[in-house]
């Protein structure tokens, strides 16, 4: 870990809810704390507000392709906090439709189990980004 990285606590559980276009409707206290935003700063903003530029486009294409089919997506994600620090999460994104018929997504994120997993995905995503250019 370096000074520019936030390490999640073992019991961190970051939750957010978005509408169908990815606009944040709810953000848990853990999400706000790790992302270094007040909840008011997140509500109404696109979830991409925490997207780290190191993330390959293909990862998010896979996420959106999956959830738009009504399926659950899981994966390793590098995010960026308000102050520019990075933090890694294991994310699960669930599509939902509420009682009014409005659809959206709920994302639950936890700490990645090991530094080795982070290093593995850091290298994979670097390789994927190099192929995007």
Q: Mind listing the pLDDT tens digit of every residue in the chain (133 residues)?
A: 677 999 999 999 999 999 999 999 999 999 999 999 999 999 999 999 999 999 999 998 999 999 999 999 999 999 999 999 999 999 999 999 999 999 999 999 999 999 999 999 999 999 999 988 7
- Output phi, psi for 7, to 5 deg: -100, 125
- Looking at residue 132, its pLDDT comes to 84
- Looking at residue 1, its pLDDT comes to 60
- Looking at residue 99, its pLDDT comes to 93
Which of 70, 66, 74, 68 is CA-nearest to residue 91? 74
Q: Which residue has the tokens 């699960």?
A: 92
pTM listed for this prediction: 0.92
b/e map of 50-78 (b: 16 or more CB within 10 Å)?
Answer: bebeebbeebbeebeebbeeeeebeebbb
| Both tokens assigned to 2 | 């370096």
Q: What is the percent of the chain where pLDDT is above 70?
A: 98
**Domains of the chain with CATH codes:** 14-132 (3.30.450.20)
- Looking at residue 2, its pLDDT comes to 74
């Amino acid at each position: 870990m370096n000074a520019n990285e936030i390490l999640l606590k073992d019991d961190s559980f970051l939750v957010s809810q978005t509408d169908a276009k990815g606009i944040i409707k709810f953000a848990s206290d853990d999400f706000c704390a790790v992302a270094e935003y007040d909840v008011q700063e997140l509500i109404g903003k696109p979830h991409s507000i925490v997207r780290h530029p190191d993330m390959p486009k293909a990862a998010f294409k896979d996420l959106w392709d999956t959830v738009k089919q009504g399926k659950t997506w899981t994966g390793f994600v590098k995010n960026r906090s308000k102050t520019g620090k990075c933090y890694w999460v294991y994310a699960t994104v669930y599509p939902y439709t509420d009682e009014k018929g409005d659809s959206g997504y709920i994302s639950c994120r936890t700490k990645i189990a090991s530094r080795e997993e982070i290093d593995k995905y850091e290298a994979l995503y670097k390789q994927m980004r190099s192929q995007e250019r």
